[in-house]
Chain A
Amino acid sequence: MSDLFAARSQMALSLGFHIIFAEIGIALPLMMVLAEWQWRRTGEDVYYQLARRWAKGAAILFAVGAVSGTVLSFELGLLWPRFMALSGPIIGIPFSLEGFAFFTEAIFLGVYLYGWDRISPRAHMTAGVIVAISAAASAVFVVSVNAWMNTPAGITSVAGQITDIDPIAGMLNPSTLQQSLHMVLAAYAATGLAVAGIHAFVLLQKRDSTLHRYATVLALSVGVPAAILQPISGDISARSVAQWQPIKLAALEGQFETARGAPLRIGGWPDEEARRTRFAIEIPKGLSLLAFHSPNAEVAGLESVARELWPPVLPVHLGFQIMVGLGTLMALTSLWVAFTVVRKRSVFENRRLLAVLAIIAPFGFIATEAGWTVTEVGRQPWVVQGLIRTADAVTPMPGLIVPMLLFALLYLMLGAIVVVLIARMVGETT
């Protein structure tokens, strides 16, 4: 394994690990505050139990998210020192703001978790709301950095030398809005439906448990709207990619030739050697229509640039299919839930719906991982699109396979422990 590949693996692993905890850290505090609010409003003890349980879960998951986020802030330099030397002065500004948002989140999570009997109900609820808001704000700041890597702005270079930078313009680059929206919605959809799915699964065995019923309703109220909105946000993102990163779009669609009226491919297996995508269901003119809202629009293919500027097509295409496929299933299930509620039927009487909710519980997190694969692998060979290549950014230190394996082992252990702890917490409930 080359050092570059080891470094990329370690970064992918660290981000892939952290992103799950970050997503839960955004959505779970919102749910715990909703539960507490219901408790204060109705006085029903079950809501109190629920708020305490979710807060406990949030505490464990936040701790793992916080330490894995710390690892990432160091890894940017440990693995990609040349990238940071170039980008630090630009992306450091949103990272600083993220630092403050994270700080606020940590402070008020501590206040929330340990302040049940120390502060007034109003102050306690407010602390929870601050946690939920600052977590979402953190996500926006961090994603703005990733957006900058995709569509760098605020940087002027002459003959490879940077002559001028504008960090504010960098932060407000063309992808920030789309990507942040997509990420925050993903966090609510993935976590909301995952939590609802877990409680729905318990309900399949213990039909009348009030706690699990209330939990399912609250989790759905967070997950369902987000999952229904996510395909719209996805469409906005894809059109942005079509405009600013045409080669990434070509890779995620498996489009090798530049073509007018390009088809939309569902599934399929791109073959870089043969330069075609096999076994896909093709919807004529679908891609041109979706990407540019015009059936005969020209879509740039991979072949429009040199082969060395292609990202690895297969993982990007598959990642995209997985993300869109799972996202669609989540949106459809959410519509089903919404439809059931609108018709004033009980979600709990519909065992088939409960079963589907239990099945799709992990889909949001899988879709998130697939989506990150699309945006990160799809940008290769660049670490910052058009400015610096990943291969030129990597540390000169040899033997990078060692830290990669070390973190792989560490995260594997941590992940396993967290799963066991959460499973036990769910199991303890009645």
Chain B
Amino acid sequence: MSFFASIGMPEVVAGIALIALNAYALLGGADFGGGVWDLLASGPRREQQRALIAESIAPIWEANHVWLIVVVVMMFTGFPHAFETLSIVLHVPLTIMLVGIVARGSTFMFRSYGSRTVNVRDRWGAAFAIASVVTPFVLGMVIGAISSGAVARASAVTAATAAPASFLDVYVRPWAAPFPIAVGGFALSIFAYLAAVYATVAAKDDALRDDFRVRALWTALMVFVFAALALLTAYVEAPRVAAGVTGSPWAILLHICTATAAIVAIVALWRRRFGAARVAAAAQASLILWGWALSQYPYLVPETLTIRDAAAPAVTLRLLLIGLAGGAVVLLPSLRYMQRTFVARS
């Protein structure tokens, strides 16, 4: 098959970067989702909800956050030209995202360690929660802008020296458009969904578990709404995505799997099989990510830079793969140990 024949070192590196992005979505994404539930904490168990989120995030969020750095470093090492293009055109949203990352991480720490007075803690909590909403939304917008092809078009404008480009056209419109906004809403809702589902497993009493069960079910609906919005806007702004999602032979199989995972997650939540719901929700989020990646294959920045065009020289890719393998040998047992220390025994 032509797909497998086209797999070389650049594709393998891109695949690993996607695995890292997947890990970031499932782990770091859920930590941001936790911030959403901090913001929307309500009802009689409002403070318990916040405490549960804080307890489950505290020991692991920094390690989870490193997945994003792995993705960035793999991008600029393995695909320097793609990194260059994205960094130029998406300067504004990436900067907003960075401010969000800084605000989220530091305010969470200040809240945990900073003060014993509830008043001050609330203020940090509010900043933490707002940053947790903004950051994943903008991350979604960035991904939407890339896959719609708008980044590539804007980049072509900066490269052409003849016509003076308008700031809005090059640096704002590619991401401040309906499709990227829909993807932003989708990213936010799926992260919130994951966080709510994880919280049903982490909660120690039934009342609290039910709070998050209800939240998870409502957010499942939000995920569906934003997915529909993204698809509708994709027909206009990102025909390639729409075609990839609806037309290709891969798509049908992938859709069946994604839909199955989504339905299993909802049924499991409904029937209070929270462990199963967690696995199914994580599978659903991962399948969506891989579906997006396949829809834009072989492009890294559709439709100008393919994975192969953007790739670094072979010597770099080889070293990167060796480094990743060596790193995995250290990392995976460490992650397993962390997980056993904090998840299994709590």
Contacts and interface: CB of A to CB of B under 8 A. Distances in A.
B99 A73 contact: no
A167 interface: yes
A99 interface: yes
Interface in B50-100: 58-60, 62-63, 65-66, 68-70, 72-74, 76-78, 80-81, 83-88, 91, 94-95, 98-99
A111 B88 contact: no
Interface residues of A, number: 64
A109 B62 CA distance: 9
Interface in A267-322: none
B106 A63 contact: yes
CB-based closest 10 A-B pairs: A92-B77, A77-B87, A88-B80, A89-B312, A100-B327, A63-B109, A89-B316, A114-B59, A67-B105, A85-B84
B76 A92 contact: yes
Interface residues of B, number: 63
B341 A111 contact: yes
Given A66-B62, A70-B68, A397 B91 contact: yes
Contacts of B167: 398-399
Interface string A83-102: 01111111011011111101
B98 A96 contact: no
Given A92-B77, A99-B69, A421 B110 contact: yes
Given A74-B98, A111-B338, A403-B95, A93 B72 contact: no
A379 to B, nearest CB: 21
A113 B76 contact: no
B101 to A, nearest CB: 6
A78 interface: yes
Contacts of B330: 100, 104
Given A78-B94, A92-B76, A99-B327, A406 B99 contact: yes
B98 A81 contact: no
B163 to A, nearest CB: 14
B327 A70 contact: no
A74 B72 contact: yes
Nearest to A134: B330
A386 B240 CA distance: 43
Contact of B316 (A84, A92, A113): A92
A115 interface: yes
Interface of B: 58-60, 62-63, 65-66, 68-70, 72-74, 76-78, 80-81, 83-88, 91, 94-95, 98-99, 101-106, 108-110, 112-114, 158, 167, 171, 312-313, 315-316, 319-320, 323-324, 326-327, 330-331, 334-335, 337-338, 341-342, 345
A64 B113 contact: no
A56 interface: yes
A85 B81 contact: yes
Contacts of A67: 65, 101-102, 104-106
B87 A114 contact: no
Contacts of B80: 84-89, 92
A84 B338 contact: no
A93 B63 contact: no
B129 to A, nearest CB: 17
Contact of B62 (A63, A75, A115, A421): A63
A100 B330 CA distance: 8
Interface in A24-61: 56, 59-60
A148 interface: no
Contacts of B66: 66, 99, 102-103, 106
Contacts of A56: 113
Nearest to A68: B102
B131 to A, nearest CB: 10
A414 B323 contact: no
Nearest to B112: A59
Contacts of B86: 77
A165 interface: yes
A112 to B, nearest CB: 10
25 contacts: A56-B113, A63-B105, A63-B109, A70-B69, A70-B102, A73-B69, A73-B73, A77-B86, A77-B87, A78-B94, A81-B88, A82-B84, A90-B316, A93-B320, A95-B76, A97-B327, A98-B73, A100-B326, A106-B63, A107-B337, A111-B337, A113-B59, A167-B319, A396-B158, A410-B99
Contacts of B73: 73, 92, 95-96, 98-99
A121 interface: no
Interface string A383-404: 0000000000001111100010
Contact of A106 (B62, B103, B106, B327): B62
B95 A100 contact: no
Contacts of B334: 103-104, 107-108
A177 to B, nearest CB: 20
A118 interface: yes
A102 B69 CA distance: 10
Contacts of A329: none
A365 interface: no
Given A85-B81, A103-B66, A66 B341 contact: no
A99 B88 contact: no
Contact of A118 (B70, B106, B312, B345): B345
Contacts of A78: 87, 91, 94-95
A66 B110 contact: no
Contacts of B312: 88-89, 92
A106 B86 CA distance: 28
Nearest to B80: A88
Nearest to A66: B62
Contact of A66 (B99, B105, B324, B342): B105
A77 B109 contact: no
Contacts of A66: 62, 65-66, 105
Nearest to B105: A67
Given A88-B80, A103-B63, A71 B316 contact: no
